[in-house]
Amino acid sequence: MTIETQRHSAAHVMAAAIQRLFPEAKFGVGPAIENGFYYDIDIGRAVTPEDLEKISAEMKQIMKEHPTFERMELPIDEAIAVFEKAGQVYKVELLKDLKEKGTTSLSESEREEFEAVDRVSLYKTGTFIDLCRGPHVENANQIGAWKILKIAGAYWRGKETNPQMQRIYGLCFATQEDLKAYLTMMEEAERRDHKKLGRDLDLFTFSDLVGSGLPLWTPRGTLVRDLLDAYVWSLRSQKGYMKVTIPHITKKDLYERSGHWAKFQDELFKIISREGHEFALKPMNCPHHTQIFDCRLRSYREMPQRYAETTMVYRDEQSGELSGLSRVRSITQDDAHVFCRKSQIEAECFAIWDIIDTFYSTFGFELNVRLSTHDPEKFEKYLGTKAVWEEAETTLRAMIEKRGRTYVEGKGEAAMYGPKIDFMGKDALGRMHQVATVQLDFNMPERFDLSCVNEQGEKERIVMIHAAIMGSIERFLSVLIEHYAGAFPVWMAPVQVRVAPVADRHNTFAEQLRDELIAAGIRADVDESTESVGKKIRAGEMAKIPYLLVVGDKEIDGTELTVRVRGMKDQLALQKDAFIARVTSESAEHK
Amino acid sequence: MTIETQRHSAAHVMAAAIQRLFPEAKFGVGPAIENGFYYDIDIGRAVTPEDLEKISAEMKQIMKEHPTFERMELPIDEAIAVFEKAGQVYKVELLKDLKEKGTTSLSESEREEFEAVDRVSLYKTGTFIDLCRGPHVENANQIGAWKILKIAGAYWRGKETNPQMQRIYGLCFATQEDLKAYLTMMEEAERRDHKKLGRDLDLFTFSDLVGSGLPLWTPRGTLVRDLLDAYVWSLRSQKGYMKVTIPHITKKDLYERSGHWAKFQDELFKIISREGHEFALKPMNCPHHTQIFDCRLRSYREMPQRYAETTMVYRDEQSGELSGLSRVRSITQDDAHVFCRKSQIEAECFAIWDIIDTFYSTFGFELNVRLSTHDPEKFEKYLGTKAVWEEAETTLRAMIEKRGRTYVEGKGEAAMYGPKIDFMGKDALGRMHQVATVQLDFNMPERFDLSCVNEQGEKERIVMIHAAIMGSIERFLSVLIEHYAGAFPVWMAPVQVRVAPVADRHNTFAEQLRDELIAAGIRADVDESTESVGKKIRAGEMAKIPYLLVVGDKEIDGTELTVRVRGMKDQLALQKDAFIARVTSESAEHK
């Protein structure tokens, strides 16, 4: 029995407990999710933390009764009658939708309720009966370790205009050990929360006047962003990339041509100029970049053209969806587009892959590969013909295999204009994040009629490769902050070395030392507060600075520096030159 | 008699000629302007180039008649009657406006028509009578050298909904030599036109799909922008500046607080989000930067905070106002804001002044200083109180004097929030451009309640200094392209060295040489076309590349490079190391 089945069954047990405690409760949907389950309920008022405790106690009680899960199938009209009688208005709505429009009218979580129009099944757990396609455990005693987690608001069927329900989340794992490990990881993740660390380390801020989802980057945060970006650029420039610069707005004409206007209308920030023209803030950069490629006739001698640009794109996200740096309205992308001939695709993709491998190994991220392809059942979501999509997907699949990598296929995960290879990185807490991406695009070149003149003097259709290494710098930094718990490695620490004078009389020496370090290209400062040296050391540790130099009479008289290395108990005694050489080489080697 | 008087009188003579040729012509206004004059007229149809020739001939004829300029004063109602009788509807409208609302209802050029409501004066030149406050020459033979220049469309009183008139421009200088010198300069300026050179040198492009006023920067153009920006940053970083990063949009709340929403509404690109919130594209960066300063309590120990950011701002300019890079809708500013204590103003302003002096001396720009102050008659245009403005202006005036610089005062040229020191640069053609600016702002800190905690533990109101070195990179580059006629100095040339192999068999050696140069940090390429070496040299000259290395059997066998220096007739023979050292030091020294 799979863990998903256990999770789904735990959701039913929770619903059964809720029904016992709140007989008038109306139920929405209650699917299994990653790490657990949830159920959307409506008890006519907000669910309180005390309610959660009661629900948890009642679940334990039910578990002790070892109820079985009994399946029964009913004709759809009878099922409607059953739930109408029980006053379960949400379930009735789903059943009627199913009857009228079939399963395609339902969301993914709603589909878990039914197998098909003619096979509506119900599961009975004790006195609780629920719509469900199953499967379930035979008996509740087969459910592993679980825990009620939290409450959140959720609109019925995800629509703001619908009634708001209460979503109760639970965790469920096969064993107590797994549950405990997950809870420990969650606690650690909370301790590392990038929103809190971002504030503590003075990396970014939000302003009520500017608005949510629009981070403002302080000097330290900007430095970290720029260091990351400079690293990506150093890797790209070795592969022949060139920077370009585009405005952040465009007439809608560009997106009508690219297809974005029709497919992404809702997420576009739209602007009407004083003359009544329609503009949009760019949600991506590829259409603008095509216009640079296409500003003159290109010879095959100039191919490939590799354009890179780190720039912001904008998405009109709903306020409720915004969260720290993970989901923002202004997204900085380290974007690149390669305009190349078909014969150049593999070499260009492998060059990007090399950059990705080098970059992510720096952070100790293990990368998994996913081939994201189109969903043949929803082909209307994409641009272009089936033949073009199959050619592009075949090309990418062959490259992954040539590279000797295992991969999973993500059906329906492709971009609007083409399939892609996505790289999934595993962080220090074992969480997976989608990081880099390489996308193969035969469609934009068609829509913008992009070509070069080949050796025979003929017009040759070219191909576009979209490649981001970090993707969104905001999201990637949210991952990195939590990955390192804010203790950035030397090369990306905003302050690499802090000089802490023992007393006021050591300040001048400390400042000279700082200036020498700065002259050597090291980011250094002095703690000139009037605090004790012990407090200065503690403050340096709190600020997660890699090196602290304590400067007192001994250091002024002698030739050695007293070096406190972050995370190490013992101090080092190093000659100044040796210390400078150490920090410099760590920076250069991205350590 | 001033040249302005001669220019104004020439406008009357032109109008007299037009009246003789087109007795039904209706006249708008005809002021003196820089280098000449214009007159807005309405002859019921478009003015043709042939008309201009006839007008010019007729003016010559009138000049020969040596007409005098006779002044007469009339009560306003009599003046209205005179022009009503003559069918001069535009003049009648101005007179009626003057009568009802006084001179404040008139634009600057319209005010030249009148001294005051009770002193309406007319000037008679031959048979032509015109409204005018004067003064004029006594006789047309006192008018210097003139030339009719061009026709342009102009709406009556500058309003799109008013009738379109024809504006005829003329030049007028004290002597024939001055006029000739100006015409030569204009020809040279046309030859150097940045729009043409930008295309020829592949620096930037425009796209109909993206829209006018929105330049797209190619790899070469981006490189030039980035080199300029990196230079400014290197100067700033020595003065303790730190980079920050902000989103390009904000809720309107920020601009309501700053005052921009009320004062700049028309020029703001406005956005309504899907949730119905009002946002705007930023037209400047200061309000955002205040939110970074204000994200936590600041101690006097942290002051000054110096934020720098090169970022785009947006102005909803009218299509008709756009021109190449000189007037765009997306403007890249090398912006900086210093948040400091009052006691720190002078040191901070002088630090900025040092940067400006160093930066502009690099380009050989002579700088004139203008103190731009508020217009006491239009105080409603500004934020803050009279006392605050006077304090700020006194501070700036004292600084200019301390610096020992002469200056002109530009009344009414201040920013909305404070007075400023503007630097005017003279380019290679003798044209003046407003370049850098330092602005002192006591008002934004009030509106955003910005302060630091001082030595006494009290809240102390701080001051903001706004400083841009290049201002708009687009406008500055339009100036630089024309200043250098596209032949950028070595340090900012996109390609510094081109290697031109004599024949195909020299290509490999040429590529090795290029790679060596690149490894030494020099921007080099190879001309691998199949053209003759003569054509390659010509192409390198057209591309205005500073150094061309011709590579043939002699260079492969010998130890010296054959170096063609841009603009020099003779070739140089240099050892490779010496050549690399020369280019490297020129780059480092911004030569």
In the numeric block, the tokens 């004067």 are attached to B134
Same domain, B316 and B465: yes
Same domain, B53 and B173: yes
Q: What angle do CA A194, A196, A197 make, to 5 degrees?
A: 60
Determine the pLDDT at residue B242: 97
Determine the pLDDT at residue A246: 98
Among candidate residues A466, A523, A544, A564, the one labeled active-site is: A466
Average pLDDT of the segment spanning A175-196: 92
Q: What is the pLDDT of residues A471-500, one digit of tens each?
A: 999 999 999 999 999 999 999 999 999 999
Assess whether A226 carries a catalytic annotation: no
User: ipTM score of the complex?
Assistant: 0.85
Long-range CB pairs of A471-474 (<8 Å, 24+ gap) are A471/A333, A471/A334, A471/A434, A471/A435, A471/A436, A471/A437, A472/A328, A472/A331, A472/A332, A472/A333, A473/A225, A473/A228, A473/A229, A473/A310, A473/A331, A473/A332, A473/A333, A473/A334, A474/A215, A474/A325, A474/A326, A474/A328, A474/A331, A474/A332
Assess whether B420 carries a catalytic annotation: yes
**pLDDT surpasses 90 at A240:** yes
Average pLDDT of the segment spanning A553-566: 93
**pLDDT surpasses 90 at B330:** yes
Among candidate residues B132, B172, B286, B452, the one labeled active-site is: B286
Average pLDDT of the segment spanning B349-369: 96
Tokens (6 digits) for B121: 């004066």
CB contact under 8 A, B296 and A202: yes
Residue of A nearest to B277 (CA): A211
Same domain, B480 and B391: yes
Average pLDDT of the segment spanning A416-435: 92
In a mutational test of the A interface, the residue from B161, B200, B216, B529 whose CB has the highest number of chain A CBs within 10 Å is: B216
Determine the pLDDT at residue A107: 80
The CATH number of residue B247's host domain is: 3.30.930.10
Taking CB atoms and an 8 Å cutoff, what residues of chain B touch A222? 242-245
Domain presence at residue A192: no
The CATH number of residue B115's host domain is: 3.30.980.10
Taking CB atoms and an 8 Å cutoff, what residues of chain B touch A247? 210, 214-216, 312, 329-330
Q: pLDDT averaged over chain B?
A: 93
Beta strand A560-565 pairing with A547-551: antiparallel
Taking CB atoms and an 8 Å cutoff, what residues of chain A touch B248? 248, 281, 312, 314, 330
- Which amino acid belongs to residue A331? I
Residues in chain A: 591
Q: What is the pLDDT of residues A500-557, one digit of tens each?
A: 999 999 999 999 999 999 999 999 999 999 899 999 999 999 999 999 999 999 999 9
Q: What is the pLDDT of residues B379-416, one digit of tens each?
A: 888 888 898 899 999 999 999 999 999 999 999 999 98
Please tell me if residue B297 touches chain A, with a CB cutoff of 8 Å: no
Q: Is A204 exposed, middle or buried (0-12, 13-18, 19+ CB in 10 A)?
A: buried
Taking CB atoms and an 8 Å cutoff, what residues of chain A touch B287? 209
In the numeric block, the tokens 């040249």 are attached to B3
Domain presence at residue B175: yes
A509-541 core/surface letters (b: 16 or more CB in 10 A; e: else): bbbebbeebeeeebbbbbbeeeeebeebbebbe
Same domain, A409 and A510: no
Domain presence at residue A434: yes
In a mutational test of the A interface, the residue from B226, B245, B270, B448 whose CB has the highest number of chain A CBs within 10 Å is: B245
Distance, in angstroms, between B251 CA and closest chain A CA? 5
CB contact under 8 A, A254 and B207: yes
User: How many CA within 13 A on the CB side of residue A66?
Assistant: 2
Distance, in angstroms, between A447 CA and closest chain B CA? 13
**pLDDT surpasses 80 at A431:** yes
Same domain, B204 and B173: no
Confidence band for B129, pLDDT divided at 50, 70 and 90: confident
> How far from chain centre, in Å, is Cα B254?
28
Average pLDDT of the segment spanning B72-84: 89
CB contact under 8 A, A249 and B269: yes
The CATH number of residue A570's host domain is: 3.40.50.800
CB contact under 8 A, A250 and B209: yes
Determine the pLDDT at residue B111: 77
**pLDDT surpasses 90 at B255:** yes
Determine the pLDDT at residue B27: 95
CB contact under 8 A, B244 and A219: yes
Q: What is the pLDDT of residues B5-39, one digit of tens each?
A: 999 999 999 999 999 999 999 999 999 998 999 99
Among candidate residues A172, A286, A349, A452, the one labeled active-site is: A286
Least confident of A34-38, B129-133, B535-539: B129-133
Same domain, A15 and A137: yes
Domain end point (choices B437, B461, B484) = B484
Domain presence at residue A241: yes
Please tell me if residue A297 touches chain B, with a CB cutoff of 8 Å: no
Same domain, B410 and B557: no
Q: What is the pLDDT of residues A101-141, one digit of tens each?
A: 877 777 878 877 777 777 788 888 888 888 888 889 999 88
Assess whether A333 carries a catalytic annotation: yes
Same domain, A179 and A210: no
Same domain, B406 and B423: yes
% chain A with pLDDT above 90: 79
Same domain, A270 and A394: yes
Residues 6+ positions from B326 with CB-CB distance below 8 Å:
B194, B474, B475, B478
* CA dihedral over A401, A406, A409, A413, signed as positive or negative: negative
**pLDDT surpasses 90 at A372:** yes
Domain presence at residue A273: yes
Alpha-carbon span B197 to B212, nearest angstrom: 18
Distance, in angstroms, between B314 CA and closest chain A CA? 9
In this structure, how many other beta carbons lie within 10 angstroms of the beta carbon of residue B175?
10
Alpha-carbon span A110 to A157, nearest angstrom: 8
Alpha-carbon span A266 to A283, nearest angstrom: 11
Distance, in angstroms, between B381 CA and closest chain A CA? 21
CB contact under 8 A, B243 and A219: yes
Show which of residues 254-293 on chain A sit within 8 Å of chain B, judged by CB atoms. 254, 257, 266, 269-275, 277, 279, 281, 287-288, 291-292
Determine the pLDDT at residue A518: 96
| Among candidates B245, B275, B528 on the partner chain, residue whose Cβ is nearest the Cβ of A217 | B245
Same domain, B256 and B142: no
In the numeric block, the tokens 């009629």 are attached to A449
Assess whether B333 carries a catalytic annotation: yes
Confidence band for A239, pLDDT divided at 50, 70 and 90: very high
| Among candidates B209, B271, B529 on the partner chain, residue whose Cβ is nearest the Cβ of A270 | B271
Confidence band for A352, pLDDT divided at 50, 70 and 90: very high
Alpha-carbon span B242 to B292, nearest angstrom: 12
Assess whether A12 carries a catalytic annotation: no
Domain presence at residue B191: no
How many CB pairs lie under 8 A apart between chains A and B?
179
Determine the pLDDT at residue A368: 95
- Helices in A325-419 by DSSP H: which ranges? 345-362, 386-402
Determine the pLDDT at residue B406: 94
Domain end point (choices B484, B505, B537) = B484
Distance, in angstroms, between A330 CA and closest chain B CA? 6
Assess whether B286 carries a catalytic annotation: yes
Alpha-carbon span B367 to B435, nearest angstrom: 9
Domain presence at residue B192: no
- What is the model's pTM? 0.85
| Among candidates A209, A245, A291 on the partner chain, residue whose Cβ is nearest the Cβ of B222 | A245
| Among candidates B209, B221, B269 on the partner chain, residue whose Cβ is nearest the Cβ of A273 | B269
Domain end point (choices B137, B166, B186) = B186
Q: pLDDT averaged over chain A?
A: 93
Nearest to B311 by CA among B220, B244, B396: B244
**pLDDT surpasses 90 at B323:** no
**pLDDT surpasses 90 at B495:** yes
Residue A526 DSSP code: E
Residue of B nearest to A318 (CA): B275
Confidence band for A286, pLDDT divided at 50, 70 and 90: very high
Longest pairwise C-alpha distance within chain B:
93
Determine the pLDDT at residue B264: 84
In a mutational test of the B interface, the residue from A212, A248, A267, A514 whose CB has the highest number of chain B CBs within 10 Å is: A248
Asked whether the beta carbons of A225 and A232 are under 8 A apart, the reply is no
- Which amino acid belongs to residue A415? A
Same domain, A250 and A150: no
Tokens (6 digits) for A298: 């290109």
Residue of A nearest to B243 (CA): A219
Distance, in angstroms, between A288 CA and closest chain B CA? 7
**pLDDT surpasses 80 at A323:** yes
Determine the pLDDT at residue A318: 87
Range of the domain at B114: 3-186
CB contact under 8 A, B319 and A275: yes
Number of domains in chain B: 3
Among candidate residues B19, B333, B344, B496, the one labeled active-site is: B333
Domain presence at residue A191: no
Q: What is the pLDDT of residues B157-211, one digit of tens each?
A: 988 889 999 999 999 999 999 999 999 988 998 999 999 999 999 999 999 999 9
| Among candidates A202, A249, A287 on the partner chain, residue whose Cβ is nearest the Cβ of B314 | A249
CB contact under 8 A, B222 and A210: no
Assess whether B194 carries a catalytic annotation: no
